[in-house]
């Protein structure tokens, strides 16, 4: 049996929500909850904005190592967030101190691995959750370059979980 210490250092980093009107949602979370824009990825078919609290982490902490980040995901062709077949929820993301050990641990517990780190294989699964085009279409190159590095697994209810090294 694997040691429970393997999960020491794991952190939930962000939650992604699909939104219909990106600026309206940014204004809502900024105005109502005091969140600040930490990053923006304007891609070909989707724009992703990351919100969080500027004072919740040191300024030298990379975006994907921060905890408590809200990812807003807006498909550029959708009029409402209800138009996407997979719902409003996009994914959960956890950061881990050792990717190889974390993936070994998850696999040893029969967690379904949808996409392994270091390969584009499985990107279509990620694409279906993000609501964007598959990498072979030539869109969203920056997104797919970033996605190659990280694996994705599935929880018991089928929700997508991104595993990010820190």
pLDDT tens for 112-153 read 999 999 998 888 887 877 777 777 888 888 888 888 889 999
Tell me the pTM.
0.67
DSSP type of residue 111: P
Closest CA to 130 of 34, 12, 43: 43
pLDDT tens for 99-116 read 999 999 999 999 999 999
Closest CA to 80 of 70, 88, 92: 88
Whole-angstrom Cα distance, residue 163 to residue 109?
Answer: 15
């Amino acid at each position: 049996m694997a040691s429970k210490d393997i999960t020491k250092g794991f952190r939930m980093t962000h939650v992604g929500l699909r939104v219909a009107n990106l600026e309206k949602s940014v204004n809502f979370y900024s105005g109502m909850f005091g969140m600040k824009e930490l990053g923006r990825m304007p891609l070909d078919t989707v724009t992703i904005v990351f919100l969080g609290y500027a004072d919740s982490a040191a300024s030298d902490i990379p975006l994907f190592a921060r905890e408590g980040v809200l990812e807003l995901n807006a498909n550029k062709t959708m009029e409402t967030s209800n138009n996407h077949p997979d719902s409003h929820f996009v994914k959960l993301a956890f950061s881990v101190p050792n990717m190889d050990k974390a993936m070994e641990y998850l696999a040893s517990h029969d967690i379904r691995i949808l996409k392994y780190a270091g390969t584009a294989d499985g990107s279509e699964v990620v694409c279906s959750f993000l609501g964007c085009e598959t990498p072979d279409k030539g869109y969203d190159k920056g997104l797919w370059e970033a996605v190659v590095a990280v694996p994705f697994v599935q929880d018991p209810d089928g929700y997508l979980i991104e595993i990010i090294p820190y």
